[in-house]
Every structure is written in C-alpha cells, then in structure tokens.
Amino acid sequence: MNHEQMYFEDVKEGLELPGFTFGPVTTKDLIRWACARGNYHQIHYDKDIAMKEGNPDVLVHGPLKFGLMDRMIRDWIGEHGQLKKISCSYRAVDVPGNVLTVNGKVVTKSIEEAEGHVQCELWVENQKGELTTKGTAVVTLPMRGKNN
Amino acid sequence: MTQSLIPPKAKEMIGAETPLGGPLEVEKGAVLKLAQALQDSNPLYADENAAKRSKHGKLMVPVTFFDYNVPSGDEREITWQIPLTLKNRVRGKDEIELLQPIYVGDTIKAKSKVLDMSEKEGKTGKFVVIVAETEYQNQHGVVVMRHRITSIRR
C-alpha cells in the first residue's frame, strides 16, 4: 500500500482509483499465475492448442484480469476498508504482448447501516484502447471520527 | 420447431451440487505466490509484521485465491456433468460477495451448485448460458464467501 488510508468523507463521485499497468504480458506471467491458482487449461500456455481452437495466441486468463482489479481496489481501500462485492465480465481476449491498464472510478456513495458504502466501476483496457474486461465493486470505507 | 440446445436431462441439473469438498488450509506461501503473480505488494498478504499491526491482526487472502485451489471450488466439477452437446466453454462473468474476511491459516471448504441454465441467440448463433455458484465456509462452519460464475457453451 503506497498511500494514506482513504476515508469515506474524502470520496466524491467520479473520483479516479489509483490505476496501474501490467505488462507487456508474457507467457511466463500466465504460467506463474496458473500455477498459483491451479488452473492448467492449455489454451493459456500451449500456442498450438490455443490456435487450433481459433485463438490468435495463448490467452490471458480472464480471472487473472479479475485478480488485477481486486488488487487495485484492495490497495485503494487500505487496511480499514472492506471489500463487500466485486464482479467482472469478460468482453474480449488479451494475448501476450498486451499491456493491460487497470482503472476504475467511484460511481456512487451512501451511508447504509452507519457504514460508508462506495460503489465503483472497474475496467481493464489494453494498449489498443480495447476495453476487454469491465467490472464493479462495492466497498466500505472508514468514516472520520468513528472508531473503525 | 427447432430443437432446444438444453435437453430435459440437462435442465434437470439446475439445483444439482457437489458435496462439500476440502478442507483446504490456506497457506502463507500459496497466498504469496498468487500475490507475486499479480505483482501485488499489498503487505496484508505478505508481511506478517504489517499484518499483525493491522486491524486484522493476521495475514489476509485475496478473494481470487480460491476456486481451482479448493476441492469442489471449481464450478466445472458440476457444470461439466450437464449433458449438453456443446463442448466449447468460455467464461463470461465472475461475481464475488465477500461476507467475512478470510485469513491465512483458515480452513476452507467449498461446494458448487448449478443455479440456472438458459438458451440465448447472438450474432454467431445460439448458445447456452450456465450460472453456477460456489459457497465457501470456514473452519467455524460460517459461510464467508459466495462466488457466482457465468459461463457460455457454444
């Protein structure tokens, strides 16, 4: 975590989340993630099999991109924030060589049951400007002056 | 009349679920490997001292750590049993609801269930959408997370 704790009061609709880039993605990155997650589907590391199935190359795992979104939101909410929900839908494939930019912004904020809830949009875009993964997250952030 | 892509035997599998699989004890090294793969430097996953100083008091686990790593956490265990002729599967959507924080050292069990199945038609023809949900519980029997996965069969 490279920033101060974010508080509910500091958040405004439209506020951008601290995005980052991942890549250019290599096949080694995919294998490293696959081993950590126990996902050995061959289209993610065997180019012949991937191409036989009609893909341009091995494919970046969708859930790897989901993991990058989770990384961004967890970093942003800090130690005192809580992730409640996170989701994403896969719009297009990414392949090795792509540079993935992970980003997000605050959509709404509200106080529910005395907790500061924040809803965010998340997305992953590649270097061609293609939005390949789109998601949402609901988090709670601490409120100033409360014992969080 | 065109034949449905979902035969009655397949439709009957809505509601079918795996047994409760596991348990899997979440190990520090396994979480660290995932954090490294995602280039995630969040100290709450990796730094025991930082985690001890935090409000949580112990190392945390990213929500994307589970499914394939936990017996019965991979929804394909049940969804591949659906008798469809369509074998080409694409993951469409992931939705996670975290009910309680999950920590390194927790012992997690999972079960996956077929929630829904429907036939759709797109630009490239007809396909089947399958929605499955995996429920995770910890060593206290508390449900800590629900993960819904929508997949597409063509």
C-alpha A21/C-alpha B44 separation (Å) is 21
Query: Which CATH number describes the domain made up of A8-141?
Result: 3.10.129.10
- The distance of B14 to chain A (nearest Cα, Å) reads 22
Strand partners, A140: A82, A117
Strand partners, B153: B89, B128
Which of B123, B133, B132 lies closest to B154, judged by CA? B123
Q: What is the pLDDT tens value at each position of chain B, 154 positions in all?
A: 567 899 999 999 999 999 999 899 999 999 999 999 999 999 999 999 989 988 889 999 999 999 888 888 888 889 999 999 998 889 999 999 999 999 999 999 999 999 999 999 988 889 999 999 999 999 999 999 999 999 999 8
Please spell the DSSP secondary structure of A29-66, one letter per residue.
HHHHHHHHHT---GGGT-HHHHHHTT-SS----HHHHH
Q: Which two tokens stand for residue B38?
A: 């995602």
In chain B, the residue whose alpha carbon lies closest to the alpha carbon of A90 is: B92
Q: What is the pLDDT tens value at each position of chain A, 148 positions in all?
A: 556 899 999 999 999 999 999 999 999 999 999 999 988 888 999 999 999 988 999 999 999 999 999 999 999 999 899 999 999 999 999 999 999 999 999 999 999 988 999 999 999 999 999 999 999 999 999 999 776 6
Q: Hey, are the CB atoms on A85 and B97 less than 8 Å from each other?
A: yes
CB distance A38 to B69 below 8 Å: yes
* ipTM of the prediction: 0.94
C-alpha B11/C-alpha B2 separation (Å) is 17
Query: For residue B38, what are the CA distances in angstroms to A22, A72, B1, B45?
Result: 8, 10, 49, 12
Rounded to a whole number of angstroms, the distance between the first and last alpha carbons of chain A is: 18
Select the residue of A71, A87, A89 nearest B38 (Cβ to Cβ).
A71
Domain chopping of chain A, boundaries: 8-141
Residues 26-45 of A with CB under 8 A from B: 29, 32-33, 35-39
Count contacts between A and B (CB, < 8 Å): 93
In chain A, the residue whose alpha carbon lies closest to the alpha carbon of B59 is: A79
Q: Hey, are the CB atoms on B38 and A83 less than 8 Å from each other?
A: no
For chain B, domains (ranges, CATH) are 8-26+66-153 (3.10.129.10), 27-60 (no CATH)
